[in-house]
Every structure is written in C-alpha cells, then in structure tokens.
Amino acid sequence: MSKSQRQKGLRNENRIKDMHHEIGIEAQRVSAPYKPGADLAIKVAGKNLRGEVKARREASGWKTIKNWIKNADCLFLVEDRQPPLVVLRWETYRSLVSQKDNDDGPPNNVHAMSDDFPTGAAT
C-alpha cells in the first residue's frame, strides 16, 4: 500500500469519526496499516460497534447498491441462508443514533412509530 493510499484511508476514517462526533456519538480510529480488523470503534446507546470505512474515487462497485436503494432510507441485502446486510443512508443512520438535542432525528418516543406499522407475527 502506497503512502498516498494510507493517507487517503486515514483522511476518510477521520472524516467518519468526526461526523460521529458532530452528532454526539463517541467514535475513535482503531485501525493501523496492515492490521486486520475494524477501522472505527463507535459507542451507540451503550453498545460498542465496529465500523469499517471504504472509500473509492469512482465507487463503481457501489453503483448497483445506489441503484437499488434509490429513494429508500435503507436497503436489505439478503443472501440465501444468511442474515441480511443492512445499508443505511448517512441521514437515516444519523437520525437513528444522534445524541444531539437539536437533531432532526426521530422523536424521543420511538415506540410511537409502531402505530404506523402493522403488528402481528410475520408468516
């Protein structure tokens, strides 16, 4: 990995870390060159999350994902016999995890949303 590639990775990891700080979420870089594992440690609602940051100039690998998500808030990628992967837009993620009082996130009583969705077991 070249020096410029390492610098690009560092810039993007710091950018994502800073975006978390801006919304009141504790996040820190935990990656190091050639070290396997997550890039970020993120603490959300008392839970420790590991975050991986990927950045591409062209992002051609994400064209299909961007086409699938279109105007939706989230995308569920389902592979046979595997738990789904969930892709969230930053604004959706931010509204779910933000600790800032002035955030345009969900109402404090998130359970009120259940009135909008049918209840009952899925069959």
The answer to whether position 91 is within a domain reads: yes
The answer to whether position 21 is within a domain reads: yes
Model-wide pTM > 0.85: no
The answer to whether position 121 is within a domain reads: no
The answer to whether position 120 is within a domain reads: no
Q: What is the pLDDT of residue 35?
A: 81
Alpha-carbon distance of 23 to 83, in angstroms, equals 29
Domain count across the chain: 2
Coil/strand/helix, residue 28: strand
114 Cβ contact list (under 8 Å, min separation 6):
none
84 Cβ contact list (under 8 Å, min separation 6):
76, 77, 78
Residue-range definition of the domain harbouring residue 108: 58-113
Q: Are residues 86 and 45 in the same domain?
A: no
The answer to whether position 95 is within a domain reads: yes
Q: What is the pLDDT of residue 100?
A: 79
Q: Are residues 2 and 51 in the same domain?
A: yes
Q: What is the pLDDT of residue 3?
A: 87
Block means of pLDDT (10 residues each) for the chain, length 123 residues?
A: 86 95 95 85 94 87 91 96 96 91 46 38 40
Q: Are residues 71 and 88 in the same domain?
A: yes
Chain length of the chain: 123
Q: Are residues 64 and 79 in the same domain?
A: yes
Domain-terminating residue out of 10, 32, 55: 55
From the CB of residue 93, how many other CB atoms can be counted at a distance below 10 Å? 19
